[in-house]
């Protein structure tokens, strides 16, 4: 797997207001709200994207439902590793599966134009193996 860069990371928010109050109010990070409850910025030096991703939206992306399944540990944070193409995402997903890792989501083109496959790390992070076209020059 050839990771090009970290596309983004951030907390998984279970309470939009408390998360936003901490990250924006206490730490002073300015966010856009491109979707209800999803707070995002590409204006922090050193990271392509930082976002508070509500658990309901993460569950929708991974499982197609706003409820996180009770038999899968709920993540506290997310990180996405960007690869060089959609084909690289497919190959990486196959490599991970053959290595014994349980993919929560096979590679798919998200409605916002990003290719993603998702799994949980041993620490419980929601890990995305992605291709984010607008982040490539």
Give tens-digit pLDDT for 9-22: 999 987 768 888 99
The pLDDT of 34-50, averaged and rounded, is 88
For position 66, what pLDDT does the model report? 95
Structural domain range at position 129:
5-135
Query: Both ends of the chain: CA-CA distance in Å?
Result: 20
For position 16, what pLDDT does the model report? 67
Q: Is the pLDDT score of 108 beyond 70?
A: yes
Question: Edge-to-edge strands of the sheet including 32-35?
Answer: 32-35, 38-41, 50-54, 5-13, 77-82, 126-131, 115-120, 103-109
For position 126, what pLDDT does the model report? 96
* 46 φ/ψ angles, rounded to the nearest 5 degrees: 95, -5
Tell me the whole-structure pTM to 2 decimals: 0.88
DSSP state, residue 132 = -
**Which domain CATH number covers 64?**
3.10.180.10
State the total domains in the chain.
Answer: 1
């Amino acid at each position: 797997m050839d990771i090009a860069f970290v596309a983004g990371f951030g907390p998984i928010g279970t309470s939009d207001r408390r998360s936003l109050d901490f990250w924006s109010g206490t730490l002073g990070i300015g966010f856009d709200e491109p979707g209800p409850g999803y707070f995002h910025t590409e204006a922090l030096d050193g990271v392509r994207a930082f976002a508070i991703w509500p658990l309901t939206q993460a569950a929708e992306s991974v499982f197609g439902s706003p409820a996180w399944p009770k038999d899968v540990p709920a993540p506290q944070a997310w990180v996405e590793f960007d690869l060089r193409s959609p084909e690289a995402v497919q190959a990486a997903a196959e490599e991970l599966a053959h290595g014994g890792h349980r993919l929560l989501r096979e590679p798919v083109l998200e409605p916002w134009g990003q290719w993603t496959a998702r799994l949980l790390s041993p620490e419980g992070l929601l890990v995305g193996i992605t291709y984010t076209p607008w982040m490539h020059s």
